[in-house]
Chains A and B, each alone.
Chain A
Amino acid sequence: MKILVQKFGGTSVDRAEHRLLAARKVIQVREAGFSPVVVVSAIGRAGAPYATDTLIKVLRDVDPQVTPSAREMDMMMACGEIISTVVFAQTLNAAGCKAIALSGGQAGIITEDKFGDARILEIRPQYLLSLLEQGYVPVVCGFQGITLPDGEMEHGAITTLGRGGSDTSASALGVALKAEAVEIYTDVDGVKTADPSIVPEARTLPVCTYEEVAEIAHQGARVVHPRAAELAMDHNIPLWVKSTFSDAPGTRIVANDSAEAPGPRLTGITHTGRTVLIRLDMGDTPHKAHIEREVYRMMARAEVPIFFNTFGSRSLSFVVERRIYPIARDLLDGMVIPIPSEPKDQDGKLSTFYIFRYDKGQDLAYSVQRPLLACVEDRIHVVDVPVNAIENCTLVSVVARGHRQESGVVAKMYDALTLAGIPVYQTADSEMSVSCLIPESEVDKAVCLLHKHLFG
């Protein structure tokens, strides 16, 4: 039995005519001798009646003051895929293709009990295999699984897999069923060199490596979720990205060591994130490393992820997501880091207190705390650490496999952006990409420019 997993995203199942196009893809592969297993997302995107966001709102609207538990939220969110799955199975049945709708649990997807962002622990594929043997096309709810049916705390509770969960479901089923391939159907022809809504002339890449597609997805492209790409990579399952709405061949995702794998190259331009750049000016101090550690510790305690760290000889800067910036700002405003001097220093003082000070108007906690320290300044040093922030930033990235072995990618990016008057606040690079932090208002212009400069 040659099994093929086909996943259809929200825009592929949002309308009857789209579902018919998707159903045709299923019927075609069946006629070609494959046994298809279909995975579907919820119908439509935000605003659509059965979209995940709409369901979340229904639950939150019960009482906006009372946050629903993650467990109940997962049950609610899972309804979107259940509706979609039943409707799609019925579409196939109506087209004369024997299909059966299955929840994630019925398909044997077992997860940990971390509601809202569960990882798949195992897949028990026997039921799916028996359905295939009976000639059914199983249509499986993406994005969901269940906890162990005999678990200690939860008995088969519905879980969701977090962002991009349906792609992850498809890859995982492909692995468990030893599928010939996993096909991810979306509304573009494959993996593009840029977001086609910004760069209409973006090209479709015929072949990508798993690493490239995972990187491009991590950096903001919404073709395949990186978890799905990583799962396929780790288990070496062939992956395709195709369009529901065309017969274009799509993009084949291959292993790095495959004969078809491209060499070092520029893969694409991506953009992601709404961020804030924070800079702390510590001045010339022997305690810089200590202050940095305390800042990291405070952010970790408040569960504020930070990235784009940059060390200057007298400063530290980093980036946080804008949605949690208010937490970071409240933590930093007026934050005091005491560093004892043992024995007393040459001025006879017991310690140095560093206090963080935002610009005027944003320094509420500082303005309360600073006067309190004034009365002990004969015994301690008090050092103000100015803090400033650039809000409304975003990341634009060039995914460039092997760029560290070559020279010039950073130079070309920086050239293109700054000569066009787009400020580059900071850069970051890894083995697979180079990113620049720029004003969010310039993102479309930046993506177009970089695409033109780097992809011709």
Chain B
Amino acid sequence: MMNQFSSPGQSILNGQKVRFERERGVWAVHVTRHLAHALITFEPGAERSESVRMVLKALADAGIPIFLVKLHRTAVTFALAHHYVQQADEVLKQAGFGVRIRPDLALVVVIATTMREVSGIMVHISDALYHADAQLYETGDSHDSVQCLIDGVHVESALERLCQEFGLEKSVVHERPLPGNREAQA
């Protein structure tokens, strides 16, 4: 039988090692522009679950995609594409809710492997955004991403700082289409 170490293996190409498994840590940044953040504050004494349910139902019935939905003690917040803002405002007013909109935001998404098993990514992100003067209005996270809603005008400086912080090339920054914007995706 041959020795199992007699072959260089298939992951060595032209004498250079290529990535076999995904490396730990941050490897890409995605950006989605032209977003808004909505804040709906409930009347004092209103039952939160019922109010949240009504808000979410009104938006769903109107076919308005929302994301980064966050529950607060007396409010609910979410993000949406700017082209849905007027419709959302009308729908929610009809349902009896006042809505405050913060326009001209962007979602910067930091993509990493095994995000929830490593500590410290959030401090790097918040440091980078702080030094870019980009106020963080909301975050969301999953096993492979941290999503940060920031002012649109600060996107370029935020990207530069994030790339510096995580040692990334600019080539790993990708623009992503707006949620619900089928024309843009087509």
Contact residues of A with B, CB < 8 Å? 105-108, 110, 119-128, 130-131, 134, 149, 168, 172, 175-176, 178, 215, 218-219, 226-227, 230-231, 234, 289, 292-293, 296-297, 299-300, 302-312, 315, 404-408, 410-412, 414-415, 418-419, 423-430, 432-433, 435
Contact = CB atoms under 8 A, between A and B. Distances in A.
Interface residues of B, number: 66
Interface string B158-186: 00000000000000000000011010010
Contacts of B14: none
26 contacts: A119-B24, A122-B10, A122-B12, A125-B10, A126-B4, A126-B6, A172-B21, A175-B10, A231-B20, A289-B136, A292-B126, A293-B126, A302-B119, A309-B140, A309-B141, A309-B146, A310-B71, A310-B139, A312-B75, A404-B65, A407-B62, A407-B63, A415-B53, A418-B49, A426-B70, A428-B141
A411 B145 contact: no
Given A407-B60, A407-B66, A410-B56, A125 B9 contact: yes
B101 to A, nearest CB: 15
Contacts of B69: 410, 427, 429
A230 B22 contact: yes
B93 interface: no
Nearest to B39: A313
B17 A411 contact: no
Contact of A289 (B64, B71, B135): B135
B56 A176 contact: no
B7 interface: yes
Contact of A311 (B3, B7, B139): B139
Contact of B5 (A124, A134, A292): A124
B138 interface: yes
A305 B119 contact: yes
A130 B9 contact: no
Contact of B21 (A215, A231, A297, A427): A231
Interface of B: 1-12, 17, 20-24, 49, 52-53, 56-57, 59-60, 62-73, 75, 115-120, 122-123, 126-127, 130, 135-147, 179-180, 182, 185
Given A130-B2, A303-B119, A415-B56, A430 B10 contact: no
A308 B130 CA distance: 20
A438 B68 CA distance: 17
A315 B69 CA distance: 16
A309 B122 contact: yes
B123 A120 contact: no
A349 to B, nearest CB: 24
A130 B6 CA distance: 11
Given A105-B4, A172-B21, A407-B60, 10 more contacts: A121-B11, A122-B11, A124-B5, A126-B4, A134-B1, A300-B119, A407-B65, A407-B180, A428-B142, A430-B147
Nearest to B145: A430
Contacts of B66: 407, 410
Contacts of A302: 119
A226 B117 CA distance: 13
B122 A125 contact: no
Best-surrounded residue of B21, B70, B123 (most CB of chain A within 10 A): B21
A226 B142 CA distance: 14
Given A289-B136, A308-B141, A176 B116 contact: no
B71 A426 contact: yes
Nearest to A235: B20
B10 A123 contact: yes
Given A127-B2, A293-B126, A300-B119, A172 B20 contact: yes
Given A172-B20, A425-B71, A123 B9 contact: yes
A406 B185 CA distance: 13
Nearest to B137: A311
